[in-house]
Structure 1
């Protein structure tokens, strides 16, 4: 008779039973005298490590508080040591015991202690290395996965575990996707993404410190570097676990066509953001006005520009609006800005004297530039006043425009009051023509009452 091939389900159950049998043998082995006392020794070392951590942790924390001026990464490393003080003390105490046991007893009398010592070191290294991952969920996932994998490796159960995980699989065309392949991909991508994040962060700090690079080019370089590093980490991670990227390229092309129609605005904003960074029309720190929005550019994003106004509101303006709309950049080529204010005086006042007083009043304001002197011109003869325009220059538009206009108006008011210059207001003259009768509202009310 021919032997029938085992189905994947039967193979999976065989692997599970095999792992359970090995676990049972391991637990029963702990009940042997020479293994039981090794467990007791490990528990004793753990108690000593706990007591040592209780004594050293407060002193270490007090020493950390005296480290003023240390870099942030170094302080975070010290905080990690403080939190893992118990595990560190356990590693430092368990290995001298293991070395002593190996020199003075048979290897079997320290075999279990050796496994415990290797697990402690591996768990400590993984706990420190995973601090490079900023995302809490991803860091916890990688940490516990690493602990499980290292434990299986030290216990020589990796082959059985891989076979078990690989038995849970399904096929998509000619591609076989298993649980083991998925875990490999996730772990590889997590490590590479963490490395890419660390490299991009370090490079961003270096680029921002370079004063020879303009702020807009700094943002562009940082964004480009992030795209390259994260993209390379993604594709290298998939290739490392054996994923065929040919089918992924075809699929991404089809998805890209669909997204191109559905995300036109998003793509337009992305392209507009790149154009803004390349032509350097605006950069972080510039003062711009777009419509009714006037404020400082805080940051340039991939989709929008963050503009903070003087009242503390933060507007997220799409990049496309900055490309297609009319934007006033008050600090594009230089910081010099000319402002105009309008006022009027009575016809009885001498225009020559008014112009001189207005120029002197503007010069009395500290923010008005003296080397670009103010000028005052008559712009028209109004119904009740002679109309003037006063023009002056400032060099600090980031300090506000409304407030400097208010200061100049206030200086004009004081100067006109001191010199007897009057600011007229509209007046209307009513004439009663011969033969007409002037009636007031009280007269009309009297007539209604009499009737």
Structure 2
């Protein structure tokens, strides 16, 4: 390459193309950036594609220019005088394809590892030294009896598992989206089906990747059994939560979207995981409740078999008010609230005679517990307040009368200053 001739000329042409591609990369990158900023409504995947395209502009410009120069030199001069330019154009095009294909891997570190590994392999393959490098890596091995593991086997296994895991993720994501769109499948069975497909695909990808490089897994059966026994004692709670999660999904006692009460926690199920259930309360807090607690503790599912929920509120009126009028006003007030069901008519009953008031209970039904319970009770109380105020129905409060005895010390003290005057 250092001696004058066509090899040196090709090297100089490649360096010149690299400089031109760098300039075009800067100019075209700014143009694309200004165009994107001038327009609105871009989707997330479109922005990601534009970012990746902007990063690879220099390599793409070089591949296009090198391919054009290679085709021109093939027609104008001897083919051997453009060999290195054609090789550089091929490698640049392959590197661009690998960079875009590697975006299927979500993990950033793993994506970089896969990209660099494929770049190195493609370079060695097109330079025709892949067999020599493979032989060198295969020689770096460790052996234990009949077991032999070389560096080539390890790299091949990692690449195979990475590719299979990527394919498994793509298939599981596509399958999961279709399952979630199927309205004939209940939410709990959707979660169970998605989890089962993911476990099967990822497990199948791992074992196929290991078997693809010739590693025999039968010798690991005894070791894995011993490890499993040890993990069974150490991870009892984890295993219990996993089994409880499967039971919940199978018996459909709790499913995403249900409104539940567990102790002081009241909210709706957002997601059902392998270890815990995510419960979101009305104040925006998200509680992660272990699946075992949902099995062993008493859980109130407000929407298990249906969405109908009966609510009770208590109030009292003065003894001078007609109870029949109070009951009718209470029923009409409950009916006037939007979320109260009209076909399940509210009822009002006297439940006792208190010290200061006649005590009543008002019962009504709603069908949307996910909309909250406290707010609907508050709306009914407000409707009662307005109705009682319009009809002169009083809501009593406790009152106390204090009688002061004539011979008491307090009465004497108050009387003394008056006597002195």
What's the TM-score, normalizing by structure 2?
A: 0.90
The Cα of 1:256 is off from its aligned counterpart by 1.4
Is 1:330 matched with 2:302?
yes
Residue equivalent to 2:148: 176
CA distance in 1, matches of 2:305, 2:40: 41
Q: CA deviation at 1:419?
A: 2.2
Q: 1:439 aligns with which of 409, 413, 416?
A: 409
Which of 339, 342, 364 is equivalent to 1:367? Answer: 339
When the two chains are superposed, the root-mean-square deviation of aligned CA atoms in Å is 2.6
- Partner-residue secondary structure (3-state), 1:183: helix
Alignment of 1:219 onto 2:186: no
Q: Which runs of 5+ in 1 are unaligned?
A: 1-28, 447-451
Query: Per the alignment, do residues 211 and 32 of structure 1 end up closer, same or farther by CA in structure 2, a change over 3 Å counting?
Result: farther
CA distance in 2, matches of 1:259, 1:442: 83
In the alignment, structure 1 residue 343 sits paired with structure 2 residue 315:
yes
Distance (whole Å) between structure 2 residues aligned to residue 78 and residue 247 of structure 1: 49
Decide whether the 8 Å contact of 2:404 with 2:411 is kept in 1: no
Question: Which string of whole-angstrom CA distances, capped at 9 and with x for unpartnered residues, describes residues 8-64 of structure 1?
Answer: xxxxxxxxxxxxxxxxxxxxx454522111011112222333344445445555666
| Per-residue deviation, residues 174-194 of structure 1 (Å, max 9, x unmatched) | 311222211111111111111
3-state SS of 2:342 partner: coil
Among candidates 5, 22, 28, match of residue 50 of structure 1: 22
In 1, Cα distance between equivalents of 2:78 and 2:371: 80
Determine the structure 2 residue equivalent to 1:186: 158
Structure 2: tracts of 5 or more residues without a match = 417-421
Residue 59 (structure 2) aligned to one of 87, 109, 134: 87
Any residues of structure 2 matched to 1:41-440 within 5 Å, and which? 41-60=13-32, 76-428=48-400, 437-440=407-410
Change (3 A) 1:441 1:299: farther
- Please give the alpha-carbon distance, in whole angstroms, between the structure 2 residues aligned to 1:80 and 1:119: 18
Cα distance in 2 for partners of 1:416, 1:442 equals 45
- Cα distance in structure 1, aligned partners of 2:21 and 2:411: 100
Distance of 2:248 and 2:411 partners within structure 1: 66
Large movers: runs of 4+ above 3 Å: 29-32, 50-79, 426-433, 441-444
- Cα-to-partner distance string for 1:246-305 (whole Å, 9 max, x where unaligned): 123332222211111111111111111111112222222222111111112111111111
**Number of residue pairs the alignment of both structures matches:** 415
Q: TM-score under structure 1 normalisation?
A: 0.84
Does the CA-based 8 Å contact 2:64-2:89 persist in structure 1?
no
- 2: CA distance between counterparts of 1:179 and 1:252? 24
In 2, the alpha carbon distance for the partners of 1:357 and 1:116 equals 88
Deviation string 1:219-242 (CA, Å, 9 cap, x unpaired) is 111111111111111000000011
Q: 1:233 to 1:241 in 2, by over 3 A?
A: same
- What is the CA–CA distance in structure 2 between the aligned matches of 1:80 and 1:229, rounded to whole Å? 29
Deviation of residue 428 (structure 1)? 4.5
- Partner of residue 35, structure 1: 7
SS in 2 for 1:331: coil
Q: Which stretch of the first structure deviates more once superposed, 151-160 or 196-205?
A: 151-160
Distance in 2 separating the partners of 1:341 and 1:173: 78
After superposing the two structures, state which structure 1 stretch, 297-306 or 67-76, moved more: 67-76
Give distance in 1, aligned partners of 2:112 and 2:245.
35
Match of 2:419 in 1: none
Q: Give distance in 2, aligned partners of 1:67 and 1:301.
A: 40
CA distance in 1, matches of 2:412, 2:169: 84
Match of residue 5 from structure 1: none
Shift of 1:74: 6.0
